[in-house]
Amino acid sequence: MDHHNYLCDQCEEKAFTCSTGTCEKCGTSTTSSYYQLCLTCAEELGICQACQRPKAKMLKRLTQLALESAPKANRAVEIAKRIRRKN
């Protein structure tokens, strides 16, 4: 794994230019003009520098959070339905 880039599995297989670009988030330089984010911002957000897809680790965490919050969301929907029926 290249520790100078923060890329998803699909983008790790691609070749990128060595010309510098500008990070959309903070405005610092990127190591390729194709990268939308600098290394720091991509790591902070947990997304690929090039395509901005979530990296596997972040995607796993987002899935875990969604599963943990699903029962609460379902309960909120049930309460809202009851309130609507009363009105």
Is the confidence at residue 50, as pLDDT, over 90?
Answer: yes
- Residues of the chain with pLDDT > 90: what percent? 36
Beta carbons of 46 and 58 less than 8 angstroms apart:
yes
Q: What is the pLDDT of residue 87?
A: 63
**In terms of pTM, does the model score above 0.85?**
no
Higher-pLDDT residue of 26 and 85 is 26
SS3 state at 29: strand
Candidates 5, 9, 37, 10; CA nearest to 22 is 37
What's the whole-number mean pLDDT along residues 5-15? Answer: 88
Determine the Cα–Cα distance for residues 80 and 22; give it in Å rounded to an integer. 45
